[in-house]
Amino acid sequence: MAENCGMDGMKQKIGFTVALLGLLAAGLVSADELNMPRGVTDISQQVYSLHMIIFWVCVVIGTAVFGVMFYSIIRHRRSAGYEAAQFHESTTIELLWTVVPTLILIAMAVPATQVLIAMYDTGGEDMTIEVRGYQWKWQYKYLDDDYNNTFSFFSSLSTPQDQIHNKSVKGEHYLLEVDNRLRIPMNRKVRFLVTAEDVIHSWWVPDFGIKRDAVPGMLNELWTIVDEPGIYRGQCAELCGKDHGFMPVVVEVMEESAFDAWYAEAVVNEAKRRENLSKTFTHEELMASGEQIYGTFCVSCHQANGKGLPPVFPSLVGSPLILGPVDEHIKLVINGVSGTAMQAFGKQLDAAQLGAVVHYERHSWGNNAQDLTQPRDVLALSGQ
């Protein structure tokens, strides 16, 4: 009698609560904001479905097992006067709960295998882009059968430092915005060849359902066909040093005609850029482009007045390096200074840009080095 006193009500309450919690958890995850994105490719949607199937299998098994357990906790307790039974083995039930889960797993493995095979279907691509991870930015190179049409650019985080250091309000795409987006056409098979310059990075776009490690010295293949135009954002997904959290991936998927127009223009600009490498510029031309490059790449550390923030960011005003032989100045900008924040700009800026910014520094803020730095001077010290 005492055993039953209030027990049936309790049982029902507990059972109800467990079921409710299970549903709540399941409901929470189904809520789109809390769940993996469905994405905009066929693959990403297959992946999402697979994820949900496995999730529901786990919820069902979990509810069953925990349900039995919580029932037992309520019912089979000494304080309720329950006496312990003596059984402690059963070959039948052991076999059952070994074989049945194995069958469930085999059932899960079938769709998983199918989706994986679909992801490995390389070949038949419409275009190829090399994705190269650097500390701490991505470089995208559009490959063309005609090498003269191949061009590349860097894609770096464009969120201002002020926002990161809580001096101004964070924008909507905080940490997920870049200066130059990767652009690809919709409805075409784009192949990505992923590699890295220095350490292992990883290129990931959740909405496409694809991620692949960028390993130095090695190529990895990835492909996607995107159904919907738009801007999609991802991040580097392998610890790569200090700014691992600050090298986002931003892809703009364009309508085919818009993409083709952009691509054609980019090829033309690339040809012009290459021509510049063998040109000779005037002082005025060098100052104009140098000022612009300085304003993008150098000003955040060395400041608009060239005074920097010593000792971390040296002053360029009257600096012995800048007033000394131009070769040393060029080499420092190309190679950076290891162990400091001064990056090796040789990879990011081409010889014309490097020449211009070096020239600008040598002739600003009272500096007057009395020389012209042409692209060929830079080429003599670097390969690009």
- CA dist 150 and 146 (Å) reads 7
Looking at beta carbons only, is 185 or 306 nearer to other proteins? 185
Residue 165's Cβ-side half-sphere holds a number of Cα atoms within 13 Å equal to 4
HSE (side-chain half, CA atoms, 13 Å) at 130? 19
**Which residues between 102 and 161 bind other proteins (CB under 8 A)?**
102, 105, 108-109, 112-113, 115-117, 119-125, 128, 130, 132, 135, 141, 143-147, 149-150
What six digits make up the tokens of 59?
């919820």
The yes or no reply on residue 220 touching other proteins (CB under 8 A) is yes
Question: Which residues are CB-neighbours of 301 under 8 A, at least 6 positions away?
Answer: 308, 309, 312, 313, 341, 342
The residue (of 84 and 257) whose beta carbon lies closer to other proteins is: 84
Report the C-alpha gap between 290 and 362 in whole angstroms: 10
Q: How far is the CB of 370 from other proteins (least distance, A)?
A: 23
Number of residues near other proteins (by CB under 8 A)? 124
| Amino acid in position 357 | V
Question: Both tokens of residue 13?
Answer: 């309450």
Could you say which residues in the range 254-313 bind other proteins, by CB under 8 A?
none
Q: Is residue 92 near other proteins by the rule CB under 8 A?
A: no
Q: Hey, what are 131's tokens?
A: 């994705």
Interactions with other proteins, residue window 321-350 (CB under 8 A): 334-335, 344, 346-347
Residue 2 is a binding residue for other proteins (CB under 8 A): no
- Of 239, 264, 288, 341, the one binding other proteins by CB under 8 A: 239
80: left (phi over 0), alpha (psi -120 to 50) or beta: alpha
Q: To the nearest whole angstrom, how small is the minimum distance from the Cβ of residue 368 to other proteins? A: 27
Is residue 219 involved in binding other proteins (CB under 8 A)? yes
CB of 253 to other proteins, least distance (A): 17
Smallest distance from other proteins to CB 367, Å: 26
Q: Which two tokens stand for residue 71?
A: 């029932």
